Amino acid sequence: MPEKLMITAPAKVNLSLRITGRRDDGYHELESLVAFASCGDTLQLAKASATRLTVEGSGVVPADETNLIIRALRSLEAHTGKPLVTDIRLHKNLPVAGGLGGGSADAAAVLNGLTRLFELDVSEVQCAELARALGADVPACLAPGPGWMTGTGTDISRLDSLPAADIILVNPRIALPTGTVFAALNCHTKPPAKPSPQPDVGGFEDLCDFVTGQGNDLAAPASEAVPEIAACLVGLLDSGAACVGMSGSGASCFGLARVGDGQQIAEAYRLKRENDWCVASRLIGAGDAEITQLYQ
């Protein structure tokens, strides 16, 4: 068995997000085209004599039992009935509370990584059940390829592919808790009359048309809480992005571009908003080879 493993936990991007209703238990139902960028947090998992989580990089996240990473480890220990003593080093590259699924992606990476590191007999179905118990976004992050998310976010239909595209991710360096945005949601939107069809986008223009047409129902309440979101979107368009949007509950935004244009657009954006976090990346396709490259 390997003694250690390096993992990339890629950024989860909600290219679209529509709120379709609210359940009696308070959870919202939604529709979202989800994709992943090739950038993200990085984790090192190593067998050790004591379990420990060390956090480095930008942003402040707890390194105790409340962190989703440790909760993911404990859930696997409870499921398998054996101790999984691991030294975990997280290098935080994604903005904290930024709408890019950083914590959920980290937890999913740990579920996958520990299963490989300790060669655990855990099926995909069992792993998905553990992920659902950790949070609504965690199941989508188990296989970081494009998908159509419905229900409360735990129901994922994997898509065969998305058109190749560069993606530019930006954040005004302002944390925006999800609860704050959902609390202000009801005065901004009402559920659509009928469900949207699962996206079928054959080319880059089709992808941009779908993203623009669907939009993000959380953008209005998020922009009231963080007015800089609107400036981020304008900055991306002015820098040459083909289409733009806000990811999840914000405050991170994205711009899509044809392959090869992303870096130039990011450089132009940094000249306009030099204090923002800004990264040029690419969308991860549905191929197993691309996903496997996340694990070293």
Q: 154 and 174: one domain?
A: no
pLDDT score for 272: 98
DSSP assignment of 61-120, as one string? ---STTSHHHHHHHHHHHHHTS---EEEEEEE-SPTTSSS-HHHHHHHHHHHHHHHHTT-
Interhelix angle 68-80/124-134, rounded to 10 degrees, is 140
Under a CB-based contact definition with an 8 Å cutoff, are residues 39 and 27 in contact? no
42 and 79: one domain? yes
Look up 12 and say whether it is catalytic: yes
Task: Say if residue 19 is in the same domain as residue 147.
Answer: yes
The strand pair at 166-171 and 277-282 is best described as antiparallel
- Same-domain status, 200 and 275: yes
H and E: helices and strands count for the chain = 10, 11
What's the number of domains the chain is made of? 2
User: Does one domain contain both 149 and 262?
Assistant: no
Q: Where are the beta strands (DSSP E) in the chain?
A: 4-14, 18-22, 28-47, 52-57, 86-92, 147-150, 155-158, 166-171, 243-246, 253-257, 277-282
Going by C-alpha positions, the residue among 205, 119, 122 that lies closest to residue 165 is 205
246 vs 213: CA distance, rounded Å: 13
Q: What is the pLDDT of residue 165?
A: 96
Query: Dihedrals φ, ψ of 93, to 5°?
Result: -105, -30
CATH number of the domain bearing residue 238: 3.30.70.890
Alpha carbon distance 34, 190 (integer Å)? 22
Residues of the chain with pLDDT under 50: 288-289
- Residue 183 and residue 265 in contact, taking contact as beta carbons nearer than 8 Å: no
Whether residues 134 and 245 share a domain: the answer is no
**Residue-level pLDDT at 2:** 75
Q: What pLDDT, on the 0 to 100 scale, is given for residue 29?
A: 87
pLDDT digits (tens, 9 = 90+) for 192-201: 667 788 888 8
User: Which residue, among 257, 106, 105, 59, has the nearest Cα to 169 in the 3D structure?
Assistant: 257
Q: Are residues 47 and 88 in the same domain?
A: yes
Both structure tokens of 84: 């999984």
User: Closest Cα partner for 170 from 232, 228, 261, 223?
Assistant: 232
Match 């690419």 to its residue by tokens: 282
- Same domain for 147 and 259, yes or no, is no
Q: Are residues 50 and 196 in the same domain?
A: no
What CATH number does the domain containing 134 carry?
3.30.230.10
Same structural domain for residues 134 and 256?
Answer: no
Q: Are residues 263 and 174 in the same domain?
A: yes
User: Which amino acid appears at position 236 of this protein?
Assistant: L
118, 84 contact by CB (below 8 A)? yes
pLDDT of residue 61: 86
**190 given a catalytic annotation:** no
- Indicate if 213 and 264 belong to the same structural domain: yes
pLDDT given for residue 289 in this prediction: 43
- The catalytically annotated residue of 41, 106, 137, 261 is 137
pLDDT tens per residue across span 132-180: 999 988 999 999 899 999 988 878 898 988 999 999 999 999 999 888 8
Structural domain span for residue 265: 166-282
